[in-house]
Amino acid sequence: MTNKADILVINTGSSSIKFAIFSDELTEKLKGSAVEIGGASHFSITGLEQAGTKQDVDLPDHRAALSHILNALTSRGIAPAHLRAAAHRVVHGGPHLTAPMALTQDALTKIAACSALAPLHNPHQLGAIRALSDLAPDLPQYASFDTAFHATNSAVARRYAIPDTAETDGILRYGFHGLSYASLCHALPRISGAALPARVLAFHLGNGASICAIRHGKSVATTMGYSPLEGLTMGTRAGSIDANAALKLAQDHGIPRARAILNNESGLLGLSGLTSDMRALIAEGSSASAFAIEHFIYWAIRHAGSMIAAMGGVDAMVFTGGIGEHAAPVRSGIARGFGWLGAQIDDAANAAHRQQLHARASGIGIWIVPAMEERQIASDALTLMGGP
């Protein structure tokens, strides 16, 4: 079934592992996930012209989940010996890991040094890399970093106005969703049939949400900062908040409780008192849900203005991510916020979720680009290996 050309892409979370198989032509052949690891686990897999399967399984830890994934792939004719490589998403590369890399022992040490910057992500991803090394020791492994795309931001853009001391070491604006933005830069020309516009205002809108100013294919500014908490209103994250307000929450309720409020109980959930799911809020139609949606759109427009200023204008707006790809009222609300710049959305195209959204008279291109982080990770690995 394979000729040792396929890439296994692995995206490890705190209680889940998503995976996909890509050919050396970057065609997705199969995908699946192991979720609720350590709890009521279940496993699903679809693709290769076979019916999908979903089953409850006992997965006490990430190593057990990876072993189950490898066994499931082997049963479909894709044993580790048939794979060309495994490629991992690693959330945080810190200030120094700014490009995809082969996973040597030195690379693992450097990734581990970034764990304090992403304590909920990097340790689990490192664990998966090491477990896979034990389970398939001859399989080459590579990593792509979600922060790397933003390494092209200037020092002025990355630096907070705080002293450069041992106390503040590592506190910079790193930005996230970089794999999504890198993928978008490759995908938009395929969709539009034209070169990538010089100034792209990219909206990655999902439960986590950010905007990136992309000038000549490179990030010059982004809304997320030291952590994914900064920036837009999100599903459960507050977005940008006065640091003294965060300190007051910590002083009054303790750091763990403040962290939970800002990261898990705020955003659309906190504003509506109902849910973090944009689809449900749009369907629900109450005044509380309407306010949450209005808040989301308002702050997306306001932050986007900053991104436009950072790249000296805008030639195209691009939406990606779950909300960006599927929430027509949100896209419309944001686009209409830039009518003064000539943006005109085609309502029929928007309602139908077509990839080209701009009206003929629009002064700015408006597009939907499906999020393809896994494909980007596979592409990075292939590039490091010298292509097909």
| Assigned domain for 388 exists | no
SS3 category, 6: strand
| Assigned domain for 158 exists | no
Which pLDDT tens digit goes with each residue over 176-212?
999 999 999 999 999 999 999 999 999 999 999 999 9
Phi, psi (degrees; rounded to nearest 5) at 169: -60, 130
Q: Cβ neighbours of residue 70 under 8 Å, at least 6 residues apart?
A: 79, 80, 135, 136
| Assigned domain for 1 exists | no
| Assigned domain for 163 exists | no
| Assigned domain for 330 exists | yes
Residues 190 and 48 in one domain: no
* Structural domain total, the chain: 2
Active site residues: 146
Residues 214 and 351 in one domain: yes
Full-model pTM: 0.94
Length of the chain: 388
| Assigned domain for 384 exists | no
Residues 340 and 270 in one domain: yes
Residues 111 and 246 in one domain: no
DSSP string, 59-100: --SHHHHHHHHHHHHHHTT--GGGEEEEEEEES--TTT--S-
SS3 category, 115: helix
Looking up residue 223, the CATH number of its domain turns out to be: 3.30.420.40
Looking at residue 302, its pLDDT comes to 98
Looking at residue 136, its pLDDT comes to 96
Residues 73 and 189 in one domain: no
Which pLDDT tens digit goes with each residue over 100-140?
999 999 999 999 999 888 888 899 999 999 999 999 999 99
Q: Which two tokens stand for residue 204?
A: 């990655």
A 10 A CB-CB count for 306 gives: 13
| Assigned domain for 378 exists | no
| Assigned domain for 157 exists | no
Residues 124 and 53 in one domain: yes
Q: Which residues pair with 28 in a beta bridge?
A: 22
Q: What's the chain's Rg over C-alpha atoms?
A: 21
Domain span holding position 328:
178-373
Which pLDDT tens digit goes with each residue over 341-358?
999 999 999 999 999 999
Residues 32 and 133 in one domain: yes
User: Average of pLDDT values for 227-241?
Assistant: 97
Of the candidates 187, 182, 203, which has an alpha carbon nearest to the alpha carbon of residue 323? 203
Q: What band does 1 get if pLDDT is binned at 50, 70 and 90?
A: very low
pLDDT of 370 above 90:
yes
User: Average of pLDDT values for 307-328?
Assistant: 98
Q: Cβ neighbours of residue 142 under 8 Å, at least 6 residues apart?
A: 85, 86, 87, 88, 100, 101, 102, 103, 380, 381, 384, 385
Residues 139 and 228 in one domain: no
Type of residue found at 51: A
